[in-house]
Structure 1
C-alpha cells in the first residue's frame, strides 16, 4: 500500500507531501491544477522514463520519494527484494528517484542504490496505474493474451513455464540442425582443401620443440670446424704441450708437499691445489671426448635444413608455432571426421528437433485447453460486469487463432487471442478496437481491472480519469464498483464525476496558485464540510446555490447507504 508521496521541484510542484489511506482515495481539482502531474511523479519514482523538461523551471534537479508497506502476501515482491539483498524487515519500502538537468539519475530503494530498470521491476509489484494509455493497451489485440494469462495465472503458471522451457529447447535444436546442415554443405565444398592441408602437415611428422632442437643442431654443424679448433686449442694448452697446465700443476703440488715437512700450515693450500688439479683433469677429459665427438656430416646438415624449411613453410600457413600447427591439424581432423559422418549427425539432430517440436506442441496444447476454459470463465464475468455497468445485451468473447498454421511459434505457446464484443443485441462480434464510444471503453477497462484484481497480488490501483464518457446511473455503478474494489485494494482515483467523488473514503483537492512570477500546486485532504463544498463545485461549477448543496448532501448520504447495502 502507498502510505505517502513526497514531490520536490517536479513540473509546477515546488514541494508537496501527500499521505494516503486505505480504501478509496479520491482526487479532484480544477482543470490544469496538476492532477495528472501527481500520476507523472508517481510513475517516475516507479521507474518510468524521465523527461528533463519536467524539472521545475529554475531548478537543477527534481526528486520524488514514495513510502510503501510490504504485506505478507507480496511474495513476488519479496522474492525480487531478497534477490537484490534489500532489507524490508520493518515492513516498509522507500523508493527514491532524483533527476538532474544534466541527465543524471539517482535511484534508491531503502537507501540501496539501484538502476532504473530495477526500480521499474520493483514498481510493477507495488502499484498498477490505469489511464488513457491503458485504454490503448486494451484496444491492442496483441496484449489480449497477456490479460487472459494474468487472470488464469494461478492455474496455468506451471504450464506457461513448461511451454517457455520447451520452446527454447526446440529453438536451440532448430538452430543446431540448421547450423550442421549449413556447415555440412560448406565443408563438403572444402573437402579437397582440408584433405590436402591435413596431408601436408601430417607428412612433415612434427614434434613439439623439434624446430628448436634442429636449429641448435644446425648451428653446431655449420660451426663444427671452428668449434673443433677452439676445443683442440684449449685441450693442447691444458694437456698436450710439454709445459701444459696439468704437468705444471702436478710439479707444483709435489714441490708444495715438500714444504709441508717443515711447515704444516700449508696443508690446506696443498689440498686446494690438489682439488684444482682434479677439476682441471676432468675438464681435460671432457675436452678430449667433446673434440673427438665433433664431426661434419653434409648429409645430416642437408636433412636438417630441409626439415626446417618445411616447418617454416607450415608456420607461414597454419600457425606461428608447432603447437599451433598441430592444433590446426587437429581441427582439420575433426572437421574431416564430421564431413565423413555428417549424414549420421544430421539424422540424429533431425530426430532431436522433431522430438523437441512435439514436446513443445504437447505442452502448448495442454496450455490451450486450460486457456479456453479460463477464457470462457473470464468472458462470462466480463459480460456480467458490463451488464451491471448499463451495457445490457453485451456479448464478450475470446477468439483463438492457431499459430501452428504458419509455424509462428513463440514462448507463450501456439495461441493468438483477440477479444471480441457486441454491445447491442443482434450486432455481430467486433474487435475492441472497433468500439467508438469512450464511455464503453472506460466501462470495459474497469471491468477488466475488477475481474483481474481477483487474481493479482498488487495492493494499490490508480485510476486516472478512466471514467471518461460516462454519467448518470452508469457513473453511480462505476463508483460502487470502485469502492468494492477498495475493500481488498487501495484505490486512488482521479475523477471529474461527483458520483465517484461522493463514494470516496478519503477525498483530496488539488489546486494551483500563482504567487508573484511562479505557479504553485497544493494538495489538501478534505474534511466532511470541504468534501460537500467540493462536490458542489463539481456539480455546479462557478454558480453555487442551495439546490447544489442539497444535491451534494443527498449524494453523500446515498453513497453511504450504497456502501452499507
Structure 2
C-alpha cells in the first residue's frame, strides 16, 4: 500500500505530506484547491512525464517522494534485480523524483539512482492510475491477456508456463538450424579455403623454434669467411710460432719452467706455479677447440641460399596464419576441426531440421490447449463483466473478448486478445481503449477491477474524479463498488461526490490557504465531525441545514441526532 506522499515546491504546493490508510481514501475540496495537483504529483512520482511549468513559482526544482509497503507483492524482487537493486531489509520502498527548471530529472529508489524506464516499470507495478489512458494498465492488450489468464485459474497459468518453455526450445532449435543452414550455403567455398590453408601449412612441415635456429644459422653462414679468419688468427697466436716470435703456449711453457725452478728454491712460489700451470692447460684446451672449430667452418653459399628461402617461406606463413610458428600450427588445427564439421554438415542440418519440427509440434500442442482454455475463460469473463456492469447501471452494455490468431509461434501463445465493448445497443463493438465517455470508462474500469480484484497484483488504485459524468443510482453503485475494491486494494479517489466520499475509510479535505502574498495547499485528515460538515458542504454548498446533516448521517450510516 501507499504509506505516504511528500510534495515540495510543486504547483501551488510549497510543502505537503499526506499519510494514507488502507482501504478507500477520499480527497475532497473546492475546485482549484489542489486535489488534481496532488494526483499529478503522484503520477510523476510513479514515472509520469513532468513539466518545468509544474515547479512552484520562485523555485528552481520540485521534489516528490512516495513510500510504499511492498510486502506480499509478487515478482517485485526479480524486477529489482534487473538493475542490481536488492530486496530492502524492511518491506518498504521509497521512490523519489526530482525535477528542475534546467530539465534535470533524477529518479531514485531507496536512495539509489535508477533509469527513468526502470523507475517507471516499478511505479507501474505499485499503482494503477485511472486518469490518462497511457497510464491505465487495463488498456494494454498484454495486461488484458494476463488478467484473463489469471481469471482462468491455475491450470491455464500452468499451460502458459509450458507454452513459454516450449517456445524457448523452439526458438533455440530454429536459431541452431538457421546457423547451420547459413553455414551450408557457404560450405563449398569455405571447404576450398580450408583445404588450401591446411595443405599450405602441412607442406611447410614446421617445427616450433625452427625459425630461431635458422636465423642463427643464417647469421653464421653470412659471416663464415670472417669467422674462419678470426678463428685462424686466434689459433696461430696460441699455438704457432712465427720466426723468432714464440707462440703464447711456448711463452707460457717457458714461464712455467722458470717458476718450477724458482719454486724448487723458494716454496712460497708453489701456488703461483700451480696457477700458471692451470692457465697453460686451459690455453692448450682452447687451442685444440679452435683447431676443431676451424675444421668445421665451411662457407657454403648454397646452404645460405636454402636457409634464406626457408625463412622467407616461414615469414609468408606468419603473415597469413599467425605471428609465430605455434600460432600457425594452432591455425592448422582449427582449420582441420572446422573442415570436419563442414564435411558432416548435411547430417547435422538434417538433425537440426528434425529438432525444429519436433519443437514446433510440441509448442503447437501446448498452445492449442492454452488457446482453448483462454476462449472458455473468456466466455465466463464476458458474462461476469456484464453482471458487474448491470450492477453499475450499464445493463445494456455488450462486452466481448476478441481473439485474433498470431502467425507462427509466439511468446505467450498463438492468439492476440483485446477487450471489446459497445455501450449502446446496435453500436459495433470497439476496443476498450477507444471508449470516449469518462463516466462509462470509469464504471467499466470499476467493473473489471472489482471482478479481477483477486488476480490483479497492482496494490494501489487511484481514481481522479471518478464520479465525472455519473449520477443518480449509477453514482451510488460507483460509490459502493469503490468501497468493495477497498476491501482488496488500497483505493485513493479524488471526488466531488458526497455519495463516494461518505464511504471512505479516510477522508482528506484539500484546502487552499493564503500566507502573505503566496498561496499554499494543505491536506487535512478529517475527524468524524469535520467529515460530517464537509459532506454536508458537498451536498448543499455553504448553507448547511439540519436536513442536510441528517441526510449525511444516513449516507455515513451514522445514527441521526434527535
TM above 0.5, one fold?
A: yes
Cα distance, 1:485–1:222 mapped onto 2, change above 3 Å = same
- Unaligned residue ranges in structure 2 (runs of 5+): none
> How do residues 5-24 of structure 1 correspond to structure 2 at under 5 angstroms?
5-24=5-24
- Unaligned residue ranges in structure 1 (runs of 5+): none
- Which sits farther off after the overlay, 49-58 or 74-83? 74-83
> How do residues 6-155 of structure 1 correspond to structure 2 at under 5 angstroms?
6-71=6-71, 73-77=72-76, 84-89=85-90, 91-104=91-104, 106-112=106-112, 114-117=114-117, 119-133=119-133, 138-139=138-139, 141=141, 143-152=143-152, 154-155=154-155
Q: Is the 8 A contact 2:128 2:135 kept in 1?
A: no
User: How many residues are paired up?
Assistant: 554
Cα distance, 1:162–1:52 mapped onto 2, change above 3 Å = farther
RMSD: 3.4
Q: Displacement of 1:309 after TM fit?
A: 2.6
Q: Displacement of 1:176 after TM fit?
A: 2.5
Q: Which residue of 2 aligns with 1:208?
A: 208
Q: Displacement of 1:506 after TM fit?
A: 1.4
Match status 1:401 vs 2:399: no
Q: Which residue of 2 aligns with 1:360?
A: 363
Q: Distance in 2 between matches of 1:52 and 1:444?
A: 34
> How do residues 493-504 of structure 1 correspond to structure 2 at under 5 angstroms?
493-504=493-504
> How do residues 406-445 of structure 1 correspond to structure 2 at under 5 angstroms?
406-407=407-408, 409-423=409-423, 429-433=429-433, 435-445=435-445
Q: Is the 8 A contact 1:86 1:110 kept in 2?
A: no
Q: Which residue of 2 aligns with 1:374?
A: 377
What is the TM-score with the length of structure 2 in the denominator?
0.86
Cα distance, 1:116–1:240 mapped onto 2, change above 3 Å = farther
Q: Deviations over 1:491-517 (max 9, x none)?
A: 111122222112112111223456566
Q: Displacement of 1:324 after TM fit?
A: 4.2
> How do residues 161-240 of structure 1 correspond to structure 2 at under 5 angstroms?
161-240=161-240
Q: Distance in 2 between matches of 1:94 and 1:231?
A: 89
Q: 1:390 aligns with which of 376, 388, 393?
A: 393
- Which sits farther off after the overlay, 146-155 or 27-36? 146-155
SS in 2 for 1:284: helix
Q: Which residue of 1 aligns with 2:490?
A: 490
Q: Displacement of 1:25 after TM fit?
A: 0.7
Q: Displacement of 1:86 after TM fit?
A: 4.4
Q: Distance in 2 between matches of 1:148 and 1:422?
A: 19
Q: Distance in 1 between matches of 2:277 and 2:166?
A: 87
Cα distance, 1:457–1:274 mapped onto 2, change above 3 Å = farther
Q: Is the 8 A contact 1:135 1:441 kept in 2?
A: no
Q: Distance in 1 between matches of 2:133 and 2:321?
A: 61
Q: Distance in 2 between matches of 1:268 and 1:13?
A: 109
Cα distance, 1:225–1:555 mapped onto 2, change above 3 Å = same
SS in 1 for 2:238: helix
Q: Distance in 2 between matches of 1:107 and 1:434?
A: 32
Q: Displacement of 1:27 after TM fit?
A: 0.9
Q: Distance in 2 between matches of 1:41 and 1:283?
A: 99
Q: Displacement of 1:127 after TM fit?
A: 2.9
Q: Is the 8 A contact 1:164 1:412 kept in 2?
A: yes
SS in 2 for 1:511: strand
Q: Is the 8 A contact 2:26 2:492 kept in 1?
A: yes
Q: Displacement of 1:188 after TM fit?
A: 2.5
Cα distance, 1:88–1:200 mapped onto 2, change above 3 Å = closer
Q: Which residue of 1 aligns with 2:543?
A: 545
Cα distance, 1:249–1:41 mapped onto 2, change above 3 Å = farther
Q: Distance in 1 between matches of 2:141 and 2:119?
A: 28
Q: Is the 8 A contact 1:29 1:509 kept in 2?
A: yes
Q: Displacement of 1:159 after TM fit?
A: 3.6
Q: Is the 8 A contact 1:379 1:397 kept in 2?
A: yes
Q: Which residue of 2 aligns with 1:451?
A: 451
Q: Distance in 2 between matches of 1:152 and 1:318?
A: 62
Q: Deviations over 1:397-418 (max 9, x none)?
A: 3233232xx32x3211111112
